[in-house]
């Protein structure tokens, strides 16, 4: 499942692409003072898409930064594989039980 911020960033990009395709011609017509009703509607739609894309971008980036700033631990991490599949660490210090079994620690 995708994270919510990923979906928002994709929607933001799509809204901005639609804005880039719709807005330029009506913007020129409205700025030149020769816009009819249809051109004005496209201009307002382009402005709405621009505001929407910027809002989705801001929310998506905010959610992404919250997700990236969350500390990871064994309790809340996303597992990529089961722990049983991991190779033992050869540099790990032996446990006290292992030391007793190996005769290194007699407890005296």
How far apart CA 66 and CA 52 sit, in angstroms, is 21
For residue 97, the model assigns a pLDDT of: 65
List CB contacts of 70: < 8 A, sequence separation 6 or more: 76
Could you tell me which residue, 65 or 106, shows the higher pLDDT? 65
Asked if the model's pLDDT at residue 107 lies above 60, the reply is no
Can you tell me the mean pLDDT for 38-45?
Answer: 91
Rg over CA atoms, the chain? 29
Give the confidence band of 44 by pLDDT, cuts at 50, 70, 90.
Answer: very high
Neighbours of 46 (CB within 10 A): 21
Asked if the model's pLDDT at residue 76 lies above 50, the reply is yes
Vertex 94: Cα angle to 76 and 84 (nearest 5)? 40
How far apart CA 108 and CA 102 sit, in angstroms, is 15
Give the confidence band of 47 by pLDDT, cuts at 50, 70, 90.
Answer: very high
């Amino acid at each position: 499942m995708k994270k919510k911020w990923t979906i928002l960033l994709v929607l933001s990009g799509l809204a901005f692409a639609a804005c880039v395709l719709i807005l330029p011609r009506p913007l020129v017509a409205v700025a030149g003072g020769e816009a009819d009703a249809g051109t004005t509607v496209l201009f307002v739609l382009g402005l709405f898409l621009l505001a929407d894309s910027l809002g989705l971008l801001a929310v998506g980036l905010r959610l992404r930064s919250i997700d990236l700033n969350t500390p990871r631990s064994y309790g809340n991490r996303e597992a990529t594989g089961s722990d049983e599949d991991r190779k033992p660490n050869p540099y790990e210090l032996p446990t006290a039980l292992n030391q007793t079994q190996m005769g290194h620690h007699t407890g005296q």
